[in-house]
Amino acid sequence: MRPASLLGLAALLASVASSAQDALAHEGHAPRPEAAAAFPIPAPGSYRLPPIKRAAGGTVLDEAGKTVDLLRRDRPGDGRGVTVLALIYTRCGDVCPLASADMARLQDLAAKDPGLARRMRLITLSFDPEHDTPEVMRSFAAAWRSADPAAPAWTFLTAPDRAALAPILAAYGQRVDAGPSGVLNHVFRAFLIDPEGRVRNIYSLDFFEPALVLTDIRTLLLDGSGTGGGPGR
Amino acid sequence: MLRNRPIPGRRIALVLASAAPLLAAAPARSDETCQSPYMAKITGLEDFVYVWTLGVEGLGDGSDKLVTVDARETSPTFGKPIHAASIGGRHEAHHGGFTDDRRHFWAAGLSDSRIFIFDVATDPAKPRLVRVIDDFVAASGGAAGPHGAYALPGRMLIPSLSNRHGTGRAALVEYSNEGDYIATHWLPTDAEPNGARIEARADGYGYDARVLPRRNVMLTSSFTGLENYMRPLGDLMKDGEAMKRFGQTMVLWDFHARQPRTVLSVPGVPLEIRWAWGPQHTYAFTSTALTSKLWLVREDEPGAWSAKPVAEIGDPATLPVPVDISLSADDRTLFVDTFMDGTTRVFDVSDPDRPRQIYEKKIGAQLNMVSQSWDGKRIYYTSSLLANWDKTGAENEQFLKAYGWNGRELSPRFAIDFTAERLGRPHMMAFGAASLYAP
C-alpha cells in the first residue's frame, strides 16, 4: 500500500481545485469522502452499459520510450479485460491531479479484489507530448502508481508528437486548446473500454468515482461478452 | 466537508506543483445559468446569443434557422442579428443545447424529428450546419418529437415529447457527440413502471430532463404528444378529451443506471426544470403551465424525494401559462415567464419553501423563453412558443429583448423585431463566446 495520507494537503488541493474547476465547467465537485460514495452505488449487473463507439488505438510511447499501440495488450501485466483510459497532462493545474488521484484510488480499491484486478488495467495518456516525454511520464508514474503486486496494471503513455496524437484525440472526441501560459484547456474525460474494444462509459470528474467505476467494470465482466445485450441501459 | 484522499508522500511535490496555478486566478463568472453541469463554461461576458428560430412561410427564406445576435457592447453591430444559418424548410424549431465541450449546438425539430448539428467553434459568430440526424424515430425504436439536447460526458441526452404514433408516451434517447445512436429509455407508465414507485399515476409523458450529478439523480417533466402540440391551440382547447392528454408527473431517476425510481404527482403540466446550484441545495424548481404554480422538488432524506407547490404565478384563474423559468447562480432569484400575458415575474426564492414575488414587467404581447447571465446582470427574452400556439394578428409579436437587471428592476438594453428582420419566430437562446475556443 501507499504511504499514509496527508489529509490536510489533500483537503487543500481538493478545495482549491474544486473552485478552479468552476472556470472550466458548470459541474460543482463536492468533495467526496474516502470511504463512501456521495450516492448509493447500484449493484453490478443491475443495469446495462450500451456500447457508445469503437475505442481507438494509435501510436504512443511507453515509459521506456518504446513505440507501442495505445490499446495493444503486449505490455507486461496488461492482462485481458477492461481498460480505464484517462486523458491528462502532467502540468495541469486543475482537474487532472484530481483525476489522477481518482485513478490511484481506483487502483487501490481494485487491489482488494485480485481476481478482478487481473481482469482490468488502467492507462493514463498525456496529450502534451512536447512536455510529457517518456521520462516525465516515468517519474509521474513513480509518484502515482501503487507498488502493491495485487493492484491492476497502470501504464503511463505519451505520444511521440502532435501528429501521432491528433487522430487519437479525434477518435475520443477530446478537444485540447492551448491557452495562455501553456495551459491546455480541455474538459476532463475518462473512458471505460470493454474487452472487445468498445467504449462503454465516459466519465466526467463527477462520476469518476472509484467505487462506481469498479461497479461498471464488474457489470461488463458479468455481461460476459461485454455486449450489453441490446438497446437501452 | 473535506475531500479526504490518500496522497502518498512521494506525490506531494507533484501535487503542489500542479496546484500552484490554482491559487493565483479567480476568473469572472458570466455564463448562462440553467445549463448542463457537464458543459464547458464561459468565463467572460457572452459575445453572442444564438437563437433557434422557427421559419414563417413568406417571411425571408421561410426556413428554420440558427440566428446569431451580437451581444458585444463595444461592437458596431451590438444588439443586431449578424448571421443566420438557415437549414431549409420548417421543422418546428424548438429547443437545443451544446455538447459538453461546447463545440457543437444540437437543435431539434418537433414536427419531423430531425436534429440539426451546428459547428459553433470554428467561427463562433457564424455557426455552420455540419450534420442532420434524420433517423431519430427509427433509431430510437419509435420515440418522436426530440425536444431538448442535454450535454452528458461525450454524449447528448434527447428527451422526446412523443412517439411514432403521435401520442404522449415519451423516451429519453442518447447519442454520442459524433451523432451516433446509443440507447433509448422510455418514461415509466402504470402498465410498465420499470421498477419505479408511483405516487398517483405514471403517464409516460416527457419534456425536460436535468441531472444533479452529486446525488446521481435525473429529473424529468411531462408535456403532451405530437397530436396535441402540432394542433392549433384554439381547436385543442375546445377538445375536452385532448386536453386530458397532458402531463401530470415528474420522474426521479437513478441517473447512472438510467432507471426510474419515483413517479411524483405534479398535476398541471410541469415543464422546465432548474436544479439549484448550491453544494448543499438538493432541490429543483419547476412551473406548471395549466395550473400556474411553482413547485419545489426536494430530497427530504437520502433517497426520499417529494414535490409540493410553493407559490402561485400570477392569477391562475386567468390562465397565464408559465412556460420558462431561469434560476440565478446564487439560487436566490427565479425569473418566470408567462406566455398569455407576456409578463416576466421575479421571485425571491432564497427560502425555497416560500418564494416571494419581488417584481413583474410586461415584456410583450406574448412571451416564452428567458436566459440570464451567470452574474445575473443580463436577461434575454424571446417570444415564440409553437407555430400553432403563438398569438395571431397584432399580438403575434416576435422578438428578442435584452435587459439589464440590477436586483430591483429591468432596464432595456436592446430589442430585435424578428418579423421586421424577416427571420421568423425566435425560441431557444444559448450563449456563445469566442474565448471558449483558443487560437
pLDDT of residue B436: 81
A53 at the B interface (CB within 8 A)?
Answer: yes
Question: CA B233, B239, B244: angle at the middle one, nearest 5?
Answer: 95
Q: Where are the domains of chain B?
A: 27-436
pLDDT of residue B355: 98
* Chain-chain contact of B176 with A52 (C-beta, under 8 angstroms): yes
- Collapsing DSSP to helix, strand or coil, B12 comes out as helix
- Selected residues 123-152 of chain B with any CB under 8 Å from a CB in chain A: 141, 152
Chain B residues within an 8 Å CB radius of A39 = 214-217
Structural domains in chain A (count): 1
- Selected residues 128-167 of chain A with any CB under 8 Å from a CB in chain B: 140, 142-144
**Residue A92 annotated as binding site:** yes
B368, B391 Cβ separation under 8 angstroms: no
A67, A53 Cβ separation under 8 angstroms: no
* Chain-chain contact of A144 with B19 (C-beta, under 8 angstroms): no
Measured between CA atoms, the residue of chain A closest to residue B176 is A52
Pairwise CA distance, residues B198 & A145, whole Å: 47
pLDDT of residue B267: 97
pLDDT of residue B367: 98
pLDDT of residue A75: 57
- Collapsing DSSP to helix, strand or coil, B171 comes out as strand
Question: How many residues make up chain A in this entry?
Answer: 233
Which of B11, B22, B155 comes nearest A52 by C-beta?
B155
Give strand ranges (E) for B112-196. Answer: 115-119, 128-133, 143-146, 150-152, 155-163, 171-176, 181-186
DSSP string, B323-334: EEEEE-TTS-EE
* Chain-chain contact of B3 with A40 (C-beta, under 8 angstroms): no
Q: Kindly give the parts of chain A with pLDDT less than 50.
A: 1-24, 26-35, 225-233
Burial class of residue B386 in the structure, from the number of CB atoms within 10 Å of its CB (0-12 exposed, 13-18 middle, 19+ buried):
buried
CATH 1.20.1050.10 fits B27-436, yes or no: no
**A172 within a domain of the structure (yes/no):** yes
Chain A residues within an 8 Å CB radius of B258 = 47, 232-233
* Chain-chain contact of A204 with B213 (C-beta, under 8 angstroms): yes
Pairwise CA distance, residues B32 & B197, whole Å: 35
* Chain-chain contact of B37 with A28 (C-beta, under 8 angstroms): yes
Pairwise CA distance, residues B1 & B375, whole Å: 26
pLDDT of residue B109: 97
Burial class of residue B435 in the structure, from the number of CB atoms within 10 Å of its CB (0-12 exposed, 13-18 middle, 19+ buried):
middle
Question: How many residues make up chain B in this entry?
Answer: 439
Chain A residues within an 8 Å CB radius of B177 = 173
Q: Which residues pair with A191 in a beta bridge?
A: A85, A202
Neighbours of B167 (CB within 10 A): 17
B173, B138 Cβ separation under 8 angstroms: no
Chain B residues within an 8 Å CB radius of A93 = 18-22
Pairwise CA distance, residues A11 & B172, whole Å: 38
- Which residue's C-alpha cell is 428554420? B64
Pairwise CA distance, residues B334 & B355, whole Å: 9
B24 at the A interface (CB within 8 A)?
Answer: no
- Which residue's C-alpha cell is 455486449? A227
- Selected residues 95-134 of chain A with any CB under 8 Å from a CB in chain B: 96-97, 101, 104-105, 108
pLDDT of residue B30: 56
**A173 within a domain of the structure (yes/no):** yes
Measured between CA atoms, the residue of chain B closest to residue A22 is B41
Q: Along chain B (439 residues), what's the average pLDDT of each consecutive run of 10 residues?
A: 33 34 36 80 88 98 98 97 98 96 96 98 97 98 97 97 98 97 98 97 98 94 97 93 96 97 98 95 97 98 96 97 96 98 98 98 98 95 97 98 98 98 98 83
Q: Which residues of A40-74 are buried (b: 16+ CB within 10 A; e: fewer)?
A: ebbebeebbbbbbbebbebbbbbbeeeebebbeee
Grid coordinates of B355: 418564494
**Domain CATH number, residue A87:** 3.40.30.10
Range of the domain at A76: 43-222
The amino acid at B264? L
For strand A53-54 and strand B270-275, is the pairing parallel, antiparallel, or unpaired?
unpaired
- Which residue's C-alpha cell is 476568473? B27
Instruction: Look at the alpha carbons of B19, B20, B21, B27 in this order and tell me if their dihedral is positive or negative.
Output: positive
Measured between CA atoms, the residue of chain A closest to residue B185 is A232
Please enumerate in sequence order all residues whose Cβ is within 8 A of that of B426, keeping only pairs 6 or more positions apart, or say none. Answer: B51, B53, B67, B382, B383, B384, B398, B399, B400, B418
The complex's ipTM works out to: 0.88
Burial class of residue B315 in the structure, from the number of CB atoms within 10 Å of its CB (0-12 exposed, 13-18 middle, 19+ buried):
exposed
How many alpha carbons fall within 13 Å on the CB side of residue A229? 11
